[in-house]
Homo-oligomer: A and B are copies of this chain.
Amino acid sequence: MEKKYYVGIDLGGTFIKGGIVDNGGNILVEDKTPTESEKGDVGVAKNIAALTEKLLLASGVDKGSVVGVGMGVPGMIDSKAGVVIYSNNLRWKDFAIGETVSSLTGLPVKIANDANVAALGEAKFGAAKGKENVVMLTLGTGVGGGVVAEGRLVEGNKSAGAELGHSVIVAGGEQCTCGRKGCLEAYASATALIRDTKRAMEANKDSKMWEIGGIEAVTGKTAFDYQNSDPYAKAVVENYVEKLACGITNFANIFRPETVLLGGGVCGQGDGLVKPLQALLDKELFAGELGPQVEIKIAQLGNLAGLLGAAALFM
């Protein structure tokens, strides 16, 4: 395989992380620099360009052998146009970041939403390496999503799709931050898990979970830690797993990926989370054993998913 090189940029509100990546997904060098969003949109673009030059210098890769600069960007974007329509984090509006960074670096630039880019990174080089169809769910404060179909991101019009957390699974259910009731996010985020753990403790003063000290000490781990010794904790975990499995099965039927990847803090549970989810998915998947099966795995690239996925926008 002929070696090709790519610049991957993970643009965050605080830091710009970057790396030089080859077509095997190896990161030759990586570095970061403060975003300095107070310098305005062009100021940040200049920081990205400066980081790119620094990375190229450190890697010894000639600019002429670089295919392009891929960037994962937070907020609402139009990936085709290379424009950030709106970013709350960066306080940007209608900024042609693609064109700007391209003219500063002399390299082609592609951008995509940061959550989508992370999914692409995992599909190309992480836990779903080599899979053509991948759905990734990130279980954190909210439930983020990214979808790869036939090796390419499914972004939707103006890259506004893949809001997988905002699918209703319980019509009229728990209030979601998006305004709807019963979204997957309102059941499967770490926030929802903590809410349900607190509710279980408050409703059951005899719960062993009170050993942690008080309601303020509850985390996304609490119910999992006590599931074998406390029936209230067990019920919280069971409900969490059931609702998450419901969402996963929906996406399995909608996209029929080879792999569903889970990321975010709740995934620290490892097999303790994956095994019961897989059992429920296997039971509920459309056409059961007749169709292609879907495996659930924990994402493995962590913070590097964004950088590698950004580079992969050119692969």
Contact = CB atoms under 8 A, between A and B. Distances in A.
Interface stretch (A226-234, A287-295, A302-310): A287-295
A11 B1 CA distance: 42
B254 A160 contact: no
B249 A291 contact: no
Interface string A161-174: 11110111111010
A80 to B, nearest CB: 9
Given A158-B291, A179-B288, 19 more contacts: A133-B161, A154-B255, A156-B255, A156-B257, A157-B256, A157-B292, A159-B256, A160-B286, A161-B255, A163-B253, A166-B253, A167-B167, A168-B250, A170-B171, A171-B243, A171-B246, A178-B286, A179-B284, A180-B249
Contact of A168 (B76, B163, B246, B255): B246
Contact of A76 (B159, B169, B290): B290
11 contacts: A133-B156, A149-B161, A156-B257, A157-B256, A158-B256, A158-B291, A161-B257, A163-B286, A164-B253, A168-B249, A178-B287
A86 interface: yes
A238 interface: no
Contacts of A255: 154, 156, 161
Given A154-B154, A258-B157, A287-B160, A253 B179 contact: no
Contacts of A284: 179-180
A interface bracket (residues with beta carbon within 8 Å of B)? 35 or more
* Interface hub of A149, A157, A246, A290 (most chain B Cβ within 10 A): A157
Interface string A261-293: 000000000000000000000001011101110
Interface of A: 76, 86, 132-133, 145, 147, 149-150, 152, 154-164, 166-171, 173, 178-180, 242-243, 246, 249-250, 253-258, 284, 286-288, 290-292, 294
B171 A254 contact: no
A77 to B, nearest CB: 11
Contacts of A167: 167, 250, 253-254
B169 A169 contact: yes
Nearest to A162: B254
A162 B159 CA distance: 20
A257 B162 CA distance: 11
Q: Considering residues A76, A147, A254, A290, which has the most beta carbons from chain B within 10 angstroms of its beta carbon?
A: A254
A113 to B, nearest CB: 11
A167 to B, nearest CB: 4
Contact of A163 (B154, B163, B254, B257): B254
A178 to B, nearest CB: 5
A156 B76 contact: no
Across the A-B interface, give the 8 residue pairs with the lowest CB-CB distance, nearest first.
A156-B256, A161-B256, A160-B256, A167-B250, A163-B253, A158-B292, A166-B253, A160-B291
